Structure 1
Amino acid sequence: MRIVVLGAGVVGTAAAYWLARDGHEVTVLERHAEAAQGTSYSNAGLVSPGDATAWASPDALRTFFKGLYRRDLGIRVRLQADPYFYRWTLRFLRECTTARMRASTLVKLKLALHSRDCINRIEDEIGIDYDQRKRGIVYFFRTQKSLDTGADNYRFLGQNGFPIEIVDRKRLAEVEPGLADAADKIAGGVYSPIDQTGDSRLFATRLAAHVTEKLGVAFRFGTIVEGLDIEGDRVAAVRTSAGPVAADAVVLSLGPESGVFARRHGIDLPVYPVKGYTVTMPLTDPSKGPTMGGADEDSLIGYSRLGNRLRMSSTAEFTGFDRSHKPRDFATIFRTARDLFPGATDETRAEMWAGLRPMTPSSVPVIGQARYRNLYLNTGHGHLGWTTAAGSGQFLADLVAGRSPEIDPAGLRYAG
């Protein structure tokens, strides 16, 4: 089939890989000049099934409302004129029960574990290098109270097949010697030995180069997707700034713009943008930096060591499609870097970035056929986009091929 993928982020590029691997003629449309220049450009770098707990929860409900008036929290909410923001918020609030949180968490965990394996399969098959490290991730807490409360979510993952180790500060410093100087500021945490890290932009751009050369995928960069030409119950072509592109099937992976685009074509897709901030700094003294990925759970900051760089990410800000940023937006990240890894980085050469994550109310991505018999969705991956991209692409390829998926589709296949 001629399949057109809308979007060349890590999600769309991974889908293109699996679809082309099945023998389809794949074209990817992307407004930027190369792959992974939007949402996938920067993130915490964590490939983290251990972070599969759904955002919507009773605790998140309280934090969401605090975010309306406090700027020092990891979640910030700016009231806006967009009516769809309020509709999305109502859906999010409905998900903030323990039962719904756990149901969504199990679906995310299933996909995240599958996706981690898919990333490693791609790495093994094509020899891709993306500054990957497979040493695990530590999720740590500053106080005993937050450790006692926060560890419950990880215990739930552990009870459902995810290997974890609850560690005190001494054991934490053993598994992550990079935190030895900050151990007295940490009560303890959770060590996830099967989690890993890597640069999603490097992964996507190098995967795009591979599928272009080896699998014949055509990337049309600098091409704006304007709409779909519908004939009866199918999409006949994609309208673009460079003219129509005919298709036998279309995959929608437009990141934070997915919801707006889908609603133009009668699909009520619950995807809304959530802004995140990242800082990438060179490690001037690698011996003082982390040896694996980590998450400071009290400040909601995740980080990875990417080669000789330290990447740190923070904040979930509901601010519409605003991608702007100011120096003060990164103050907490810089302060945390100095606190955890003193003397490790050069802040004067830091790259500061802000981008939008496509979030669903349940935190579960939207994958599957929608409204038209040849239109497929693969979007809404939220804060686990890098973690779940490869697995969702493989799952989508199974659906397009009409074969039994490699993983149980319960709770994952889009129901409309």
Structure 2
Amino acid sequence: MKILVLGAGVVGTAAAYYLAKDGHEVTVIERHEAAARGTSQSNAGLVSPGDATAWASPAALKTFLRALWNHDLGIKVRLRLDPYFYAWSLRFLRECTVKRLRANTDIKLRLALHSRQCINQLSEETGIHYDERKKGILYFFRSQKSLDTGTDNYRYLAEHGLPIEIVGRERLAELEPGLAGVKEKIAGGIYSPIDQTGDSKQFTDRLAAYAAEKLGVKFLFGTTIQGLDIEGDRVRAVITSAGPVTGDAVVISLGPESGLLGRRYGIDLPVYPVKGYTATIPLEDESKGPTMGGADEDRLIGYSRLGNRLRMSSTAEFTGFDRSFKPGDFRTILETGKDLFPGAFDEKKAVLWAGLRPMMPNSVPVIGQAKYRNLYLDTGHGHVGWTMACGSGQFLSDVVAGRKPQIDPKGLLYGTAR
């Protein structure tokens, strides 16, 4: 079968790999000049089942409402004349119950654990490396109060299959020597030993090259998707800036733009763009930097050690499709980096970036057939697209082939009850 994948981010490229591995003839259509130049270009670098807790929760509801007037929070909401944002917000608010939090978290954790296995198996089979580190991730808290309240979500994940260790500051410093000098600022945290880190752009670049060379995947870079040519219950072609491209099936993996395309054709796909910021800095003194990934839970900042670089990421800003940024937007990120790893880097050498995450109101991606017989979705992964990309691609390949999925599909398939 000839399959057209729309989007060459980490999600679309992983989907193309698994579909081509299944024997399909795959073409990927991407507006940028190379893979991973949009959402997947930069993130915290965390492949993190430990971050599977859904955003929508009673606590998030309070933070979301506070963010309407307090723009110093990790979540920032810029009110604008955007009816789609208000519709998305109402859906988000409906997910902010304990019952929905647990149900959505169960789905995310199931897919995240599967995806971690998939990326490791893929790396072993293809020989692709991406500055990966498999040392675990530390999720730590600065105060005893935040530690006491923040461990509840991790205990729930542990009850549902995630190995964790609750650690005090001494054990934390033992696990992460890079934090030993500032351990008195930290009350304790959670260590997830199976979590890992890596460079999503490096991974996607190399996977795209492998898929093209070894599996015959064709990439149409610099090609803008203008619409779909639909007849009856089928998509006949994808209309692009280079003309129509025909195929037997189409997969939408357009990140934050997925919802824009879907709504044009009557597909209920409430993906909304949420801006995140990253700083990537060479380590001047590697001995003073982290040895594994981590998350400062009080300041909502995640970080990874990528080779000799430190990657830090923060903020969820609701500001439409605005990708602009200014140096002041990175103040908290850089100050936190200097606070945690003093003397490790020169902030003047930081490479700054901002991009949009494709967020669903319930934090759960959508995968599977949507409205038309030959149209599939693999999108809406939010801030954990890097974590879930390979598992989503593998799951999609099962759906397209009509096989029994390797994981329980409950809550993942588009249009099914969650």
Q: Structure 2 length as normaliser, TM-score?
A: 0.99
1:200 maps to amino acid: S
Alpha-carbon distance in 2 for matches of 1:161, 1:253: 28
Kindly report which structure 2 residues correspond to 1:126-275, keeping only aligned pairs within 5 A, or say none: 126-275=126-275
| Alpha-carbon distance, 1:99 to partner | 0.6
1:89 maps to amino acid: S
SS in 2 for 1:343: coil
Kindly report which structure 2 residues correspond to 1:310-325, keeping only aligned pairs within 5 A, or say none: 310-325=310-325
Aligned to 2:409: 409
2:22 maps to amino acid: D
| Alpha-carbon distance, 1:218 to partner | 0.2
Aligned to 1:38: 38
Runs of 4+ in 1 over 2 A off after TM superposition: none
SS in 1 for 2:362: coil
1:125 has 2:130 as partner:
no
SS in 1 for 2:369: strand
SS in 1 for 2:373: strand
2:31 maps to amino acid: R
SS in 1 for 2:331: helix
Q: Deviations for 1:251-276, whole angstroms, at most 9, x for unmatched residues?
A: 00000000011001111101000000
| Alpha-carbon distance, 1:346 to partner | 2.0
Q: Deviations for 1:225-246, whole angstroms, at most 9, x for unmatched residues?
A: 0110011100010000000000
Alpha-carbon distance in 1 for matches of 2:46, 2:218: 29
Kindly report which structure 2 residues correspond to 1:263-412, keeping only aligned pairs within 5 A, or say none: 263-412=263-412
Q: Deviations for 1:65-117, whole angstroms, at most 9, x for unmatched residues?
A: 11111121100001111101000000000000011001000100000000000
1:243 maps to amino acid: G
Alpha-carbon distance in 2 for matches of 1:227, 1:70: 39
| Alpha-carbon distance, 1:129 to partner | 1.1
Alpha-carbon distance in 1 for matches of 2:373, 2:251: 12
Q: Deviations for 1:256-308, whole angstroms, at most 9, x for unmatched residues?
A: 00001100111110100000000000011000000000000000000000000
| Alpha-carbon distance, 1:28 to partner | 0.1
| Alpha-carbon distance, 1:181 to partner | 1.0
| Alpha-carbon distance, 1:348 to partner | 1.6
| Alpha-carbon distance, 1:347 to partner | 1.3
Aligned to 1:59: 59
Aligned to 1:48: 48
Aligned to 1:111: 111
Alpha-carbon distance in 1 for matches of 2:412, 2:244: 31
Q: Structure 1 length as normaliser, TM-score?
A: 1.00
Alpha-carbon distance in 2 for matches of 1:65, 1:281: 33
SS in 1 for 2:129: coil
SS in 1 for 2:34: coil
Unaligned stretches of 5+ residues in structure 2:
none
2:272 maps to amino acid: Y
SS in 1 for 2:194: coil
Alpha-carbon distance in 2 for matches of 1:372, 1:279: 41
Alpha-carbon distance in 2 for matches of 1:28, 1:82: 31
Alpha-carbon distance in 2 for matches of 1:410, 1:346: 47
Unaligned stretches of 5+ residues in structure 1:
none
Aligned to 1:17: 17
| Count of residues paired in the alignment | 416
Give the alignment's Cα RMSD to 1 decimal: 0.6
Alpha-carbon distance in 2 for matches of 1:102, 1:177: 34
| Alpha-carbon distance, 1:161 to partner | 1.2
Alpha-carbon distance in 2 for matches of 1:90, 1:309: 40
Alpha-carbon distance in 1 for matches of 2:287, 2:413: 45
Q: Deviations for 1:157-215, whole angstroms, at most 9, x for unmatched residues?
A: 01111100000011100111111011000000000000000000000000000000000
SS in 2 for 1:270: coil
SS in 1 for 2:56: coil
SS in 2 for 1:244: strand
2:24 maps to amino acid: H
SS in 1 for 2:243: coil
SS in 1 for 2:336: helix
Aligned to 2:26: 26
